[in-house]
Structure 1
Amino acid sequence: MTEVLEDKRTATRFRILVEIADRQPAVSQGEIATAVGVTSQAVSEYIRDLVDEDFVEKEGRSRYRVTNEGVDWLLRTASDVRRFADHVTDDVLGGVHEDAAIATGDIEVGDVVTLSMKDGLLHATPGDRGPATGVATTDATAGEDVGVSGFEGVMDFDPGSVTLYQVPPARSGGSDAVDAQALADPCENAPVVLAEGVEAVVAVRKAGLEPQSTFAAGDIAAAAAQRGVRVVVVVTADEVGRVTDPLRDAGTSYEVADWP
């Protein structure tokens, strides 16, 4: 553990130095005392020690400034705290993080389960066949939700995909310019069909389908693809950027398909 978290005096000195850096040059010892939770006398003693160690420079009555040496110490200590926080988040809490899954069989608290992704949802199967496993934190029967923690391994699932089909804007023919059957074929085979733009919505409906969503298609497609789902997005040509920008921001690859 980093020194600033092991020693109370070091932790207090760190907090007081941070407060000075935040308030400099006009420093109210009373305000620092309130912020840190110590007495004004204690703050005065800490500041005197910081001045003696050349971490703080006194410029006048109630005027202080953190020196380069003080800044360096703050940066080193803050880095130590950050590394410790990362350790807690990734190594400690990562193992006790709890998530929900759909039980594929009867499960009791404490059972080891094998985790898999199906239709974009996490599933838990009794047994440790892996490659990704967890420990049940609740009881469940098949089809119910079950709490899972203690994750180990990496889930093996095929990545999803996003395919875009563009529909001309109304001024250029809109949905009338689209072959309904040519659009129906890829949409019927996709687990998720989204539409962005009025012309795109109408085109999907003319193909005999109803899109699962008619807004935020880019965000939804990115989330679905990350969970292994194949997505078709029908989008009005004028609205393409509203779909592709969220996909790029999420690091999700996509294809703009040519009409058959």
Structure 2
Amino acid sequence: MMKAFKKRGALTHFQILSEISKQDPHLKQKDLANTLGITIQAVSENIKTLIEEGYITSKDGRSPYKITQKGIEKVKKDAINLRRYSDSVLETMNHFKTVWPAIANEKLKEGEKVGVYMDDGVLYAGKVEASATGTVLKNASKYHDVPLGGLNGTIEMNVGEAIIITIPNIKDGGSRATDLELIKRVYENGTQHGSKIDRVATVGTVARSVAYQLDIPISIEFAAAQATANAARKGLNILALSVGEMTKAFVRELEEEKIKYNIIDGKK
């Protein structure tokens, strides 16, 4: 998840570029050293590298430093990667919170000990046997949100799979050049292991048209690649209809989350 910062000094480069991007004309190497908690020599060496790589400009390697367009693009890209990593850490930390929200599968009363389980990507609580248990903190009716405390055990949750079917773009024939029977068969038969398809993702107008023609319900259509990976991580199996080069975004997200996937050519 932190691919952008795996190289030695990459995080320092990001911090230096971030400080320089604030456009303080009086920014000195000493200031950067104090802010980053490193030596002036280390700042100097990193700035030299950033100048050589075209991320900042400077006269004789001294201030004022100016960030280039290339540097701005690098900071934005690294900041997005850092935010994704932070979000994943926060999501993990949520497992340690003292109050959990769940959906009540029946009427529950405060103080009752209940089973907690995942179903169709949703956390439920009820008077059932489960590998995880919790205590109801407030009364809740069926299908209402219920706060739980004192969680014990492990919530069983299998990671789902993804099937990506690539569809020709409109220049290559669009839905007319798509093997609709193949897509229908995959949707009905499910994953390679025989598990049913829980959600369908579409990217592009042609993909939407294919789903309409086959009367396949669309569940995911915005930020589809990331949403597909998130859904699979919660145990759902996803069928993604992707037009042309858009498949690369799915592959990138699924591999980053270590989700099993299969790519099928949907062209006739």
User: Shorter-chain-normalised TM-score: which range?
Assistant: 0.5 to 0.7
Aligned position for 1:118:
119
Report SS of the residue matched to 1:254.
strand
Q: Is the partner of 2:118 in helix, strand or coil?
A: strand
- Structure with higher Rg: it is 1
Instruction: Find out whether 1:238 has 2:239 as its counterpart.
Output: no
Distance 1:253 1:155, change over 3 A: same
Tell whether the 8 Å contact from 2:160 to 2:259 is kept in structure 1 after alignment: no
What SS does the aligned partner of 1:156 have?
coil
Q: CA deviation at 1:253?
A: 2.5
State the alpha-carbon separation in 2 of the partners of residues 168 and 113 from structure 1. 50
Q: Distance in 2 between matches of 1:122 and 1:191?
A: 16
- 2:205 is matched with 198
Name the structure 2 match of 1:149.
149
* TM-score normalised over the length of structure 2: 0.58
Report the more deviating stretch, 223-232 or 213-222: 213-222
How far does residue 204 in structure 1 lie from its aligned partner after superposition? 1.6
Q: Is the 8 A contact 1:133 1:151 kept in 2?
A: yes
Q: Which amino acid aligns with 1:167?
A: I
Structure 1: how far apart are the matches of 2:224 and 2:99?
Answer: 29
**1:45-194 matches, cutoff 5 A:** 96-126=97-127, 129-188=129-188, 190-194=197-201
Is this contact kept in 2: 1:165–1:233, CA < 8 A? Answer: yes
Alignment check: 8 A CA contact 1:136 1:148 kept: yes
The offset of 1:246, in angstroms, is 2.0
Cα deviation, residue 193, structure 1: 0.5
> Matches of residues 248-259 of structure 1 in structure 2 within 5 Å?
248-258=255-265
Q: Deviations over 1:195-217 (max 9, x none)?
A: 11222222222222242232211
Closer, same or farther: CA 173–96 of 1 in aligned 2, 3 Å: closer
- The equivalent position to 2:219 in structure 1, one of 204, 212, 215, is 212
Count of aligned positions: 174
Is the 8 Å Cα contact of residues 183 and 204 (structure 1) preserved in structure 2? no
- Unaligned 5+ residue runs, structure 1? 1-19, 25-88
Take 1:23 and 1:199, find their aligned partners in 2: how far apart are those partners? 49
4+ residue runs over 6 A deviation: none
Preserved CA contact (<8 Å) 2:220 2:228: no
User: Residues 154-202 of structure 1: CA distance to partner in whole angstroms, max 9, x if unpaired?
Assistant: 1223321111001012222221111223212333552201111222222
8 Å contact kept, 1:106–1:126: no
The 3 A distance-change label for structure 1 pair 96 and 242 is closer
Once the two structures are superposed, what CA deviation does each residue of 1:84-119 show, in whole Å capped at 9, x if it has no partner?
xxxxx97xx965522211112221122211111111
Distance in 1 separating the partners of 2:214 and 2:258: 30
Q: What TM-score, normalized by structure 1, do the two folds share?
A: 0.59
Give the direction of change, closer, same or farther, for the CA distance of 1:95–1:183 in structure 2 (3 Å limit).
Answer: closer
- Range that drifts further, 174-183 or 207-216: 207-216
Q: Letter of the 2:224 partner, please give it.
A: A
CA contact (8 A) 1:95 1:150 kept: no
Q: What are the within-5 Å matches in structure 2 for residues 18-29 of structure 1?
A: 22=35
Measure, in 1, the Cα distance between the counterparts of 2:180 and 2:257: 31
| Structure 2 Cα separation of the partners of residues 158 and 131 of structure 1 | 13
CA distance in 1, matches of 2:95, 2:237: 29
Q: In structure 1, how many angstroms separate the alpha carbons of the residues matched to 2:217 and 2:36? A: 59
Distance in 1 (CA, whole Å) between partners of 2:184 and 2:205 is: 17
Classify 1:115/1:241 alpha carbon distance in 2 versus 1 (closer, same or farther; 3 Å). Answer: same
Q: Structure 2 CA distance, aligned partners of 1:102 and 1:122?
A: 6
Secondary structure in 2 matching 1:228: coil
Q: 1:206 to 1:97 in 2, by over 3 A?
A: same
Residue identity matched to 1:115? V
